[in-house]
Structure 1
Amino acid sequence: MAPRLLLSMPLHAITEVYGEAGLRERLVLELESFPADERKQLTEALELASTLHAEDRRVREPYLNHLLRVAIRIIRYYGVRDVDVLTAALLHDAVEDHPAELGGCDPDRPYPEATEAAVAELARRFNPRVAELVRSVTNPEYDPERDRHEQYREHVAENLERDPWARVIKISDFTDNGVGVIHTTIDKAHRSATKYRPLVPKLRELVGRPDTPLSTQAKEHILDQLDLAEERFAAILDD
């Protein structure tokens, strides 16, 4: 894989052509200018994510591809070099998907307790800020009597209101799921579009806020991506 080519390719194109190996190499290239201690922390985060999500898949690809794209997007397109934010980006689904494994507790332990143990483990391995960023983008246990998508949107809006840096992670996550909605099966695309489309206006508003810690250029890029995601949701749901 030629480094200059990898650095010029869209992330989903790397995924299609080179798969996980290509995305890993792209991350390495993005991190070349980072200090050694920050590269070490991010390498440890990637190793942990790789272990936790080793058996997980997103329809046609390893789940790790999603985590790599979320982190790379934050570096390359958002211009963010905050190592804690990038660590949390790589681990943003760890507590939600693997609380017992991460927290080292019984799989039958109640969800809230397993979640707290997992968050505490992230604080121990990295630092409390990383742990709290992951907590902010971790979905709660839903009320089975209410619509799951509605509860998801309420959770996202509430947590992103209070945590500007968590917005950065969630927006990259949303972009990967929204703009990338065409890179999956028809059934999965329809479910994703139904879940995510109503959240677009709220994300637009959050991105535009003065306290969202991104440059004007990064915000404009994100708004363009939200427009593209909306176009794709409409094509899936309105035809």
Structure 2
Amino acid sequence: MAPRMLLSMPLHAITEVYGEAGLRERFVLELESFPEADREQLVEALDLAAELHAHDRRVREPYLNHLLRVAIRIIKYYGVRDVDVLTAALLHDAVEDHPAELSGLGGGTHAELTDAAIAVLAARFGSRVAELVRSVTNPEYDPERDRHEQYRAHVAASLERDPWARVIKVSDFTDNGVGVVHTTPEKALSAATKYRPLVPKLRELVGRPDTPLSLAAKDHILDQLDLAEERFAALLDG
């Protein structure tokens, strides 16, 4: 396969055929026209994500594949070249999944570990990256309340405040929602149950004038949300 062929392939097709190596190569190809300093920052962010998620899996694949697809989608399909947004996309699960490792703390409360991990990201990549990651990081859940409801409430509230965080979250959602056909039946059913009620809110947020995307990118995202809804309905209503 010629490397340039990767630029024309859907992201999940690259995943199925070439795995992590193919997604990494596609990411490098997408970065060729970026300024050198931006490329260096994004490679540093990818290296950190690879280190933190080295032993994490998403059912059938390394977790890093998900992070690569989220970032590539933002470049390719949303037309975003903002290095801070892309850095945060690569690291969007770092604080939520690995606060102790990222912060270097031996222990502490959830809030303490989260704040310390965010501070590390701010020191390495700047406060804007750190706050974008904070916006898409789930809080500690109340065990007495439904986790899915708390997740959706947090997403709605954080995305109300931060228009650029919407860009990261909707790419994350697309990977999880449209991507339900690429996982196991059990995982697909769980994802559909969790994510389906969020579709109307994401549609509304994407359509807002302050969401910093072109009309073409918004139309693409709305089409993807429709496709996710079709797949959720097939799983939950069929």
TM range (shorter): over 0.9
Instruction: Specify every segment of 5 or more residues in structure 2 that has no aligned partner in the other structure, as ranges.
Output: none
Q: What does residue 153 of structure 2 align with? A: 154
- Summarize deviations over 1:188-214 as a string: whole Å, max 9, x none: 000000000000000000000000000
CA drift of 1:4 comes to: 2.4
Supply the distance in 2 between the matched residues of 1:2 and 1:125 (Cα, whole angstroms).
Answer: 35
Question: What are the equivalent positions in structure 2 for 1:20-31 lying under 5 Å apart?
Answer: 20-31=20-31
The letter of the residue matching 1:20 is E
The letter of the residue matching 2:134 is R
Supply the distance in 2 between the matched residues of 1:190 and 1:42 (Cα, whole angstroms).
Answer: 34
The letter of the residue matching 1:91 is L
The letter of the residue matching 2:137 is T
Q: List structure 1 segments (4+ residues) > 2 angstroms apart after TM superposition.
A: none
Instruction: Say whether 1:39 aligns with 2:39.
Output: yes
Supply the distance in 2 between the matched residues of 1:80 and 1:62 (Cα, whole angstroms).
Answer: 25
In the superposition, the TM-score normalised over structure 2's length comes to 0.99
The letter of the residue matching 1:58 is R
Supply the distance in 1 between the matched residues of 2:3 and 2:217 (Cα, whole angstroms).
Answer: 24
The letter of the residue matching 2:86 is L
In the superposition, the TM-score normalised over structure 1's length comes to 0.99
CA drift of 1:3 comes to: 2.4
Q: What does residue 53 of structure 1 align with? A: 53
Q: What does residue 113 of structure 1 align with? A: 112
SS of corresponding position for 1:210: coil
Calculate the aligned-residue CA RMSD, in Å: 0.5
- Summarize deviations over 1:106-163 as a string: whole Å, max 9, x none: 1x32110000000000000110000000000000000000000000000000000010
- Summarize deviations over 1:30-81 as a string: whole Å, max 9, x none: 0000000000000000000000000000000000000000000000000000
Question: What are the equivalent positions in structure 2 for 1:1-239 lying under 5 Å apart?
Answer: 1-106=1-106, 108-239=107-238
CA drift of 1:5 comes to: 1.1
Supply the distance in 1 between the matched residues of 2:194 and 2:156 (Cα, whole angstroms).
Answer: 14
Supply the distance in 2 between the matched residues of 1:188 and 1:197 (Cα, whole angstroms).
Answer: 14
- Summarize deviations over 1:75-103 as a string: whole Å, max 9, x none: 00000000000000000000000000000
Name the % identity.
82
Aligned length: 238
Supply the distance in 1 between the matched residues of 2:161 and 2:112 (Cα, whole angstroms).
Answer: 23
The letter of the residue matching 1:180 is G
Supply the distance in 1 between the matched residues of 2:7 and 2:119 (Cα, whole angstroms).
Answer: 35
The letter of the residue matching 1:121 is V
Instruction: Specify every segment of 5 or more residues in structure 1 that has no aligned partner in the other structure, as ranges.
Output: none
Supply the distance in 1 between the matched residues of 2:91 and 2:171 (Cα, whole angstroms).
Answer: 13
CA drift of 1:14 comes to: 0.2
